[in-house]
Amino acid sequence: MAVMHDEIRRLIEQPRESLAVEIKNWLPLAEPKSQAKIIKAVIALRNLNGGFMIFGFEKTMKPSPNPPSDPAATFTIDLIQGWISRFSSDQFEVGIEFPERDGTKHPVIVVPGGVKSIVATKSELKDINGDVLISPNEVYIRTLNANNTPSTAKPGWKDWPGMVQICFDNREADIGNFLRRHLGGLSDGSLGSLLQPKPPEPSKEDATKNFFNEARTRFNEIKTERKLQLPDHGFWEAALVIQGEVPTHRTNKEFLRRLDASNPRYTGWPIWLNSENFTDQVSRPQVHNNRWEMFLLTLEGGWGDHIEYMSFDPGGKFYLRRNYEDDLGNSGKQPRPLTTLEFALVILRTAELLAVGVAFAKAMGCEPEKTSLSFLFKWSRLKGRVLSSWANPGRYLSSDRTAYQDEVFAYLEMPLDLPISRLGEYVKKAIDPLFEVFDGFEIGQSVVDDLTNQLINRRL
């Protein structure tokens, strides 16, 4: 899918280390110490269910000096894959991308998800002095140290339940595929009825709508205060309210960075990103009424154009307003603004928002068995648009589905202990009302599951 390279390119434009992203300086690959760092990091990302390893940046996130003359010839897939075959207990394929920043190619190792058993080392690696750098039977994972800084390390007792849960979820996904394949013909009154969640409680829906309206009102206040003249565009909004006991947090940097470290960063411009390191002071997080808020505005006519507003409430409430990618930018692929809605991008962004919401709730210390998540979506400026697949030409979609309704709402509740393998079911619940306004169109569950799994496993 053509979207993937753009997402990785965005990742190196604003590099930030997180659990799913490890950033390294240029390493001399011929040295065993460098090899050990890469092997440990790749195994750690695999145990986390995938991520990215980026080379050529210092700890300050600035590009490192003195890059190799030809990074693509130095960081070859055969070399990296050979190390995995030799040292990893579980054989898996990785990818390597070489997006450019300021004329320099930066290798990005893409580690896929889908791990079904914990990965360990199986061979020994020594340096030239005979010191052991890697021993057999060692396990590594990306985790947070005492300062909430992501690092590659051996797992502590707090890390093991999450590692086992990832493997369990991926195995359950295989079982779910089997059941859908062999039991899909059962009536709604049998197996299907057992899988349906309980109807949402009105009080939870009302609480989510109230927060949604507060946040979108705040967006309009900022636009008025700054006297912004925004281009004509469509946009989508989403609110998340965590239902249950939410541990106490404050509106401080520790809370903001805890969320940032837990964000899976499935894309280069992730849902609910932390703009703390942006060079533009106006785009950095600000506190207003005990909530962190960010207003991101980049209108340069390129692939990175954004009109985005976010709100983070330490009480467990989150809001996002983002423009349609159909209407802004000039990558050479976008259609004329206000004419189309790219169906696969809608599915991917919805899936990412649900998944990031789960990660935030867990990072805040909510008990999965006692917590649910309430989501409210709204898509605006739809009237006259045609459902399209311009960003995903490999997925054919006829161009005769037009929207005659301008706005669509969708509300759903999701249990926090939901296995990641079932996320596609809830993605479809969210997007069904939207697609139905396009001449009653309904996307198949298998397509939603496929796109959702590609996102979660970083296989876009």
Residue 304 binned pLDDT confidence (cut-offs 50, 70, 90): low
Residue with tokens 């859908």: 180
Same domain, 34 and 118: yes
257 with 148: CB under 8 angstroms? Answer: yes
| 7, part of any domain | yes
Q: What distance in Å separates the CA atoms of residue 75 and residue 98, rounded to the nearest whole number?
A: 9
Q: What distance in Å separates the CA atoms of residue 263 and residue 257, rounded to the nearest whole number?
A: 10
Here the CATH number for the domain that contains residue 104 is: 3.30.950.30
Residue 191 binned pLDDT confidence (cut-offs 50, 70, 90): low
| 194, part of any domain | no
pLDDT digits (tens, 9 = 90+) for 353-377: 999 999 999 999 999 999 999 999 9
Same domain, 51 and 128: yes
pLDDT digits (tens, 9 = 90+) for 311-363: 999 999 999 999 999 998 766 677 899 999 999 999 999 999 999 999 999 99
User: What would the 3-class secondary structure string for 166-193 be?
Assistant: HHHHHHHHHHHHHHHHHHCCCCHHHHHH
Same domain, 293 and 409: yes
pLDDT above 60 for 186: no
Same domain, 34 and 83: yes
H or E element, residue 262: helix 253-262
pLDDT above 90 for 185: no
Q: What is the dihedral of CA 325, 330, 335, 336, to 10 degrees?
A: 100
Same domain, 250 and 387: yes
| 264, part of any domain | yes
Instruction: Please report, for residues 21, 50, 96, the alpha-carbon distance to residue 53 in angstroms, rounded to integers and kept in the order given.
Output: 6, 10, 9
Same domain, 64 and 212: no
Instruction: Write the DSSP string, 348-398.
Output: HHHHHHHHHHHHHHHHTT--GGG-EEEEEEEEES-TT-EEE-TT-TTS---
pLDDT at 1: 33
Q: What distance in Å separates the CA atoms of residue 17 and residue 260, rounded to the nearest whole number?
A: 9
Q: What distance in Å separates the CA atoms of residue 419 and residue 166, rounded to the nearest whole number?
A: 9
| 334, part of any domain | yes
Of 107, 138, 162, the domain-final residue = 162
Domain count within the chain: 2
Residue with tokens 């505005």: 297
Q: For all residues of the chain together, what is the average pLDDT?
A: 89
Total length of the chain: 460
pLDDT digits (tens, 9 = 90+) for 229-242: 999 999 999 999 99
Same domain, 347 and 242: yes
pLDDT digits (tens, 9 = 90+) for 37-76: 999 999 999 999 999 999 999 988 899 999 999 999 999 9
Beta bridge partners of 340: 386
338 with 415: CB under 8 angstroms? Answer: no
| 286, part of any domain | yes
Q: What is the dihedral of CA 143, 159, 8, 358, to 10 degrees?
A: -120
pLDDT above 60 for 257: yes
Same domain, 83 and 219: no
Q: What is the largest CA-CA distance in the chain?
A: 72
Between residues 111 and 148, which one has the greater pLDDT? 111
Same domain, 262 and 113: no
Q: What distance in Å separates the CA atoms of residue 447 and residue 154, rounded to the nearest whole number?
A: 37
Same domain, 239 and 96: no
Q: Could you tell me the residue range of the domain that residue 438 belongs to?
A: 202-456
Same domain, 216 and 103: no
| 192, part of any domain | no
Residue with tokens 């946009």: 235
Instruction: Please tell me what DSSP assigns to residue 328.
Output: S
| 180, part of any domain | no
| 92, part of any domain | yes
pLDDT above 60 for 270: yes
416 with 388: CB under 8 angstroms? Answer: no
Q: What distance in Å separates the CA atoms of residue 219 and residue 288, rounded to the nearest whole number?
A: 12
Q: Where are the alpha helices (DSSP H) in 31-159?
A: 32-47, 71-74, 77-87
Same domain, 352 and 419: yes
